[in-house]
Amino acid sequence: MKFHAFNDQSGGTTRPSAGFDEMVRPDGSIRPAYQKLADWLSQQSRGLMAKKQEEAEAIFRRLGITFAVYGDSASNERLIPFDLIPRIISAKEWRFLERGIEQRVRALNAFLYDIYHRQEIIRAGRIPAELITNNEAFLPEMIGFDPPRKIYSHIIGTDIVRTGENDFFVLEDNLRIPSGVSYMLEDREAMMHLFPELFAAHRVAPVERYPELLRQTLESVAPAGCKGDPTIAVLTPGIYNSAFFEHSFLADQMGVELVQGSDLFVEDGALYMRTIAGKEKVDVLYRRVDDAYLDPLTFRPDSSLGVPGLFDLYRAGHVTIVNAPGTGIADDKAVYAYVPDITEFYTGQKPILQNVPTWRCAIKDECAHVVQNLDTLVVKEVHGSGGYGMLIGPHATKAERASFAKKIAAKPSNYIAQPTLSLSTCPSNVGKGPSPRHVDLRPFVLVGDRVRITPGGLTRVALKKGSLVVNSSQGGGTKDTWVLED
Amino acid sequence: MLISIHHRTSYRYDRPFNHAIQALRLTPPTDESQIIRSWSITCPGIEYAAEYQDAFGNVVHLVTPPGETDGLEIEASGVIETNDRAGVIGSTHKIVPPAIFLRPTAKTIESPAIAALALQCCRATRLDTLHALLSSIHETVTYDTDATHALTTAAEAFRAKRGVCQDHAHIFIAAAHVLGIPARYVTGYLLIEGDTAAFAHHAWAEAYTDDLGWIGFDAANGVCPTNHYARLAIGFDAPTAAPVRGTMRGAGSEDLSVEVVVRAGDQ
C-alpha cells in the first residue's frame, strides 16, 4: 500500500546555525521537560536502541504504512523513517500554542465566510481586491453560500516551526485536505508498545481520541434538515492515491463507510451510497478528493473521482462537504502574508502566533529584494506543494539560483520568498546514539461545534545531519510528540 | 410588455439508463428589466428536485428523473412582463464582486485578433467603448448558423468571422476583458414579430460600468436589449449559464433538441 505522507504544500527549510535545541540548553544543562527522557536515554545501550528500531520497522511494515515519492520510480514505495526518540512539549508551551492555533483557525474561517460574502475586509482596505478576485484558489461557485455553522475548514493541519524559547512561527495553515494524522496515531501506538516504561514515567496527554473527535466534529456540521444521527462517509480518490492508507484508516477508526465516487449517486435531491444492504443516504461527506474533481457537472467535466450533482446538493443544503470547497483561498501562499492582518481584523486581537516574514514577488519592490537576496532566501511557488518546485537559496548553486531568477521574472506573482529560519533541533536516534536534528510540528485541529486540538501532533524530522527539509518526500522522518500534562 | 414563453428541451438516448441527472437554470429572475407574471417547469422528478440559488443568483433545480429512461422532456413556460431600459439592468445580486467577471474561461479567452479589435474600440467613456465594441463585433462577425457549433470558442469564431448569438456573446466578453471591463454571458428569450425561430432562444452579453451597473449588449443583432428581451440565467460563458446542464453515466449517445416559442401577450 502506498502512502504519501504529507500531501500538501510545504517545507520547513533553514540553515543550521547556533540553533535552538529543545532538550539541551547552550550551557549543556537539560531543560526540565526533557530531564527524565535524558536520564533514560543515557542508560540505553546502542545495541538496544538498534533492536528497538528494527522492532519499530516491523510494526510499521505490518501496518502497511509506506509512502510514495513522486518522481522517484526506483523506490516509489518506501517505509517512512521513524525516529524512536519522542519530542517533548511542556504543558505551558502547549497552552500557548493551543491558544495561538485556535485564534488563527477561527480567524481564517471568519475570513473564508467574509470573502465568499460581503468581503468587508476588502471594503475596509485591509487586503487588496486583486489578491482575491484574480486568485485561482478563490472559487466563485462558493459565493453567497452559508455552510453549516459557517465553517469552511473543519480539518486543519497547522505547520509550526520553532526558533527559540518563545519563538514559534506558523509556516503554513493547510486548510484544504491536510494529511498525516494517521502517522500521529500510529507513531503513538508503536511507542506505547516499544517503551511502556517511558509512558509510566511521564504524564503524556493522549491522542487516541482523535477519530472519535473527528466523528463528533463531522456530526456537528450535518445539514440543518438532517434528522436523527447523521450518516458520514469518507470519500477517497481510490487505492492508487498516495494517502489511501490514511483514508481507509480514518474511516475504519470512526466506524463509517469508505467510498469512492462510483459508490455514490444523487437521487431525488439527496446523496446516496450503495451498500450491501441497498442504498443509504449520506449526510456528511469527509472528502479527500480535491475541489476540481468533486463534481464533473460543476467542476472538471473529465473527473471520474467525484459525483455528478454533489455540489448542487451541497449548495441546496442537502449534504455537507468537509472541508468546504474553496478553502484554498485562505491558505494560498500569497494570502499567507496577510494572515496577521486577517487575524486582527476578525478577532480584534493581536496574533498570538507569528507569521514568517514573507516577500511577495507580485509586488515590484519585494520582487527586486528577493532576486537580489536569493542566496539567503527560500522561494516557493504560490500553489506548489510537498517541497516540490522550491529554491533553497543557501543550498543552491549559482547556476540554480540564476535559472530560478529567470522563472521568477517570467511570472512574478507565482512566487513568494521567506528567510531561512533556524529550525529548532531535538535529539534523534541516528545510529551513533542521540544526535540533534531539525524538526517542525503539525498539530491537527478540528473545527465544528467547537475547536478541538489534539495535544501534540506530528513532528517531522530532517534525519540528515544539518538538513532543514523535513518533508517525507525529501528524506524526512516522523517521531512521536508528547505534550506533558501538569 | 407581456411576453409569453414556451421552452422545451428534449433528450433522446440511444439506450435506456438509470441516474440521468440535470441541473436546470430555467427560472427567470425578477429584476429591474422584468417581472415574472407566471412560470412553471415540468420535468420528471421535478417535485423532488434540490433547489437553490447559485453564486450568481440563478435559481437551480437539480433533477434526477426516476427509473430507467430512454428520453427526457423538460418544459418551462410562463409570462414575463418586460420594460425597456435600453439594456440597463443595474446591480443585480450585489454580493458578487463584478471583478469576478474579468476571469476568462476556455470559451472566452482572448486571441491577438480579438485584442486588436478591442483596442480599436477604446473611447473616452466606458459606455462609449462598449457601444463601439457592440457595433464593431456586429459588423465584423456575420450571423451564420452553419459556421460554428456548441463548443466553438470566441477565438475560433472570431477567426472564422462567423457565428451565432453564442459566439457573438463570447467574442464580446473576450474583448471587454481585454479592456479590463467585467463582462458576463446571459441566456434568455427574444421576441421578434413574424418569423423568429432562430432567435427565440437567445444569448447576449452584459458588461459592467460603475455608474449604471450591468448593461446588456446583443452583438448578434447590434443592439442593446429592449422590452422584447427576457433574461433567464447568467454565467461566465455558455456552459456555465446553460439552462439545462446534464450528465449521463456510461457510454452511449444522446440527441438533444430545443424548441422555444416566444409570443407577444399572455397566451
pLDDT digits (tens, 9 = 90+) for B102-128: 999 999 999 999 999 999 999 999 999
- Does residue A8 belong to any structural domain of this protein? no
Quick one: DSSP state of residue B132? H
Task: Work out the end-to-end distance of chain A between its first and last CA atoms, rounded to an integer number of angstroms.
Answer: 40
Q: Domain count of chain A?
A: 2
Neighbours of B42 (CB within 10 A): 11
How are beta strands A425-429 and A434-442 bridged, if at all? antiparallel
More confident call, A63 vs B45: B45
DSSP A357: P
Q: CATH code at A390?
A: 3.30.1490.270
| Fold observed for domain B88-235 | C8orf32 fold (3.10.620)
User: How many other CB atoms are found less than 10 A from the CB of residue A189?
Assistant: 15
Q: Verify that A121 and A220 share a domain, yes or no.
A: yes
Tell whether A19 is covered by a domain.
no
**Three-class secondary structure of residue A10 per DSSP:** coil
pLDDT (average), residues B249-255 = 66
Q: Are residues A201 and A269 in the same domain?
A: yes
- Starting at the earlier edge strand, list the strands of the sheet with B21-27: B50-53, B59-63, B21-27, B244-247
In angstroms, the CA A171 to CA A357 distance is: 10
Give the rounded distance of the alpha carbon of B222 from its chain centre. Answer: 16
Determine, for residues A309 and B45 on separate chains, whether the beta-carbon distance falls below 8 Å: no
State which amino acid sits at residue A90. Answer: S
Kindly state whether residues A381 and A246 are assigned to the same domain. no
**Probe site for chain B from A132, A133, A300 (most B CB atoms < 10 A):** A133
Count Cβ atoms within 10 A of the Cβ of residue A255 and give its class: 0-12 exposed, 13-18 middle, 19 or more buried.
exposed
Residue A32 CB partners (closer than 8 Å, separation 6+) = A90
In a domain, residue A79? The reply is yes
Is A17 among the domain residues? Answer: no
Min Cα–Cα distance to chain A from B21, Å: 7
Burial class (CB in 10 A: 0-12, 13-18, 19+), B132: middle
**How far is CA A7 from its chain centroid?**
8
Burial class (CB in 10 A: 0-12, 13-18, 19+), A443: buried
Residues A196 and A291 in one domain: yes
Instruction: Tell me: do A126 and A150 sit in the same domain.
Output: yes
The architecture that CATH gives domain B2-81+243-264 is Sandwich (2.60)
pLDDT number for residue A8: 32
A123 and A229 co-located in one domain: yes
pLDDT value, residue A11: 36
B68 touches chain A (CB under 8 A): no
Residues A144 and A263 in one domain: yes
Confidence of residue B90 (pLDDT cuts 50, 70, 90): confident
Q: Do B21 and A308 touch (CB under 8 A)?
A: yes
With cut-offs at 50, 70 and 90, classify the pLDDT of residue B34. Answer: very high
Shared domain for A411 and A438, answered yes or no, is no
Q: Name the least confident of A33-37, A74-78, B41-45, B94-98.
A: A74-78
In chain B, where the domains are located: 2-81+243-264, 88-235
Strand order in the sheet with A415-419: A359-360, A415-419, A377-381, A391-392
pLDDT at position A346 is 98
Interface test with B, best of A141, A267, A312, A313 (most B CBs within 10 A): A312
Inter-chain contacts counted by CB atoms under 8 A, chains A and B: 85
CA distance B2 to B30: 14
User: Both A234 and A311 in a single domain?
Assistant: yes
Cβ atoms A454, A444 nearer than 8 A: yes
How is residue B184 written as a grid cell? 458576463
**Count of beta carbons in the 10 Å neighbourhood of residue B143:** 16
* Band (B251; pLDDT cuts 50, 70, 90): low
Q: How near does any CA of chain B get to the CA of A280, in Å?
A: 16
Confidence (pLDDT) at B70: 83
Give the three-state DSSP class for B146.
coil
Amino acid at B245: R
Domain edge (last residue) among A370, A394, A420 = A420
Using CB atoms and an 8 Å cut-off, which of residues 21-60 of chain B contact chain A? 21, 23, 45, 48-57, 60
Lowest mean pLDDT among A276-280, B134-138, B246-250: B246-250
Of A133, A143, A318, the CB nearest to B50: A318
Chain B stretch 195-234, residues whose beta carbon is closer than 8 A to a beta carbon of chain A: none
Residues of B in contact with A267 (CB under 8 A): 19, 64
Phi-psi category of A348—alpha, beta or left, where left has phi over 0 and alpha has psi -120 to 50? Answer: left
What percentage of chain B exceeds 70 in pLDDT?
96
Q: What Cα–Cα distance (Å) separates residue B47 from each residue in B41, B44, B50, B66, B75? A: 10, 8, 9, 11, 14
- Can you give the pLDDT at residue A465? 87
As a whole number of Å, the CA-based R_g of chain A is: 22
Burial A223-251 (b: 16+ CB within 10 A, else e): beebeeebbbbbbbbeeebbbbbbbbbbb
Angle, to 10 degrees, between the axis of helix A181-194 and the axis of helix A46-63? 130
**Identity at A444, one-letter amino acid code:** F
Q: How open is the CA angle A56-A57-A63, to the nearest 5 degrees?
A: 95
Q: Which of A387, A420, A453 is the last residue of a domain?
A: A420
| List of long-range contacts for B27-31, beta carbons under 8 Å, 24+ apart | B27/B58, B27/B59, B27/B61, B27/B76, B27/B232, B28/B78, B28/B80, B28/B188, B28/B230, B28/B231, B28/B232, B28/B233, B29/B57, B29/B58, B29/B59, B29/B92, B29/B231, B31/B89, B31/B90, B31/B92, B31/B231
* Residue A57 within a domain: yes
Q: What is the CA radius of gyration of chain B?
A: 18
Asked if A402 and A427 sit in the same domain, the reply is no
- What span, in angstroms and rounded, lies between the C-alpha atoms of A145 and A324? 11
Residues of chain B positioned with their CB less than 8 A from the CB of A142: 55
Element (H, E) at A29: none
Pick the last residue of a domain from A372, A405, A420: A420
The whole domain housing A389 covers 357-420
pLDDT reported for residue B196:
54
Residue A427: exposure state from Cβ atoms within 10 A (0-12, 13-18, ≥19): buried
Cell of A393: 537559496
Helix (H) and strand (E) counts for chain A? 15, 24
Q: Are residues A379 and A337 in the same domain?
A: no
Q: Which amino acid is at A213?
A: L
Which pLDDT score is estimated for A386? 56
Interatomic CA distance for residues A421 and A389, integer angstroms: 19
CA A28 to chain centre: 33
What is the full per-residue pLDDT of chain A (486 aa) written as tens digits? 233 333 333 333 333 346 899 999 999 999 999 999 999 999 999 899 999 999 998 888 887 665 554 444 444 455 789 999 999 999 999 999 999 999 999 999 999 999 999 999 999 999 999 899 888 899 999 999 999 999 999 999 999 999 999 999 999 999 999 999 999 999 999 999 999 999 999 999 999 999 999 999 999 999 999 989 999 999 999 998 988 999 999 999 999 999 999 999 999 999 999 999 999 999 999 999 999 999 999 999 899 999 999 999 999 999 999 999 999 999 998 899 999 999 999 999 999 999 999 999 989 999 999 999 999 999 998 876 556 678 889 889 999 999 999 999 999 988 999 998 889 999 999 878 899 999 999 999 999 999 999 999 999 999 988 888 887 777 789 999 999 998
> Do A255 and A278 reside in the same domain of the chain?
yes
Judge whether A172 and A10 are in contact, CB under 8 Å: yes
Question: Min CA distance, A254 vs chain B (Å)?
Answer: 29
Confirm whether A280 is domain-assigned. Answer: yes
B245, three cell numbers: 446542464
| A329: nearest Cα among A112, A173, A171 | A112
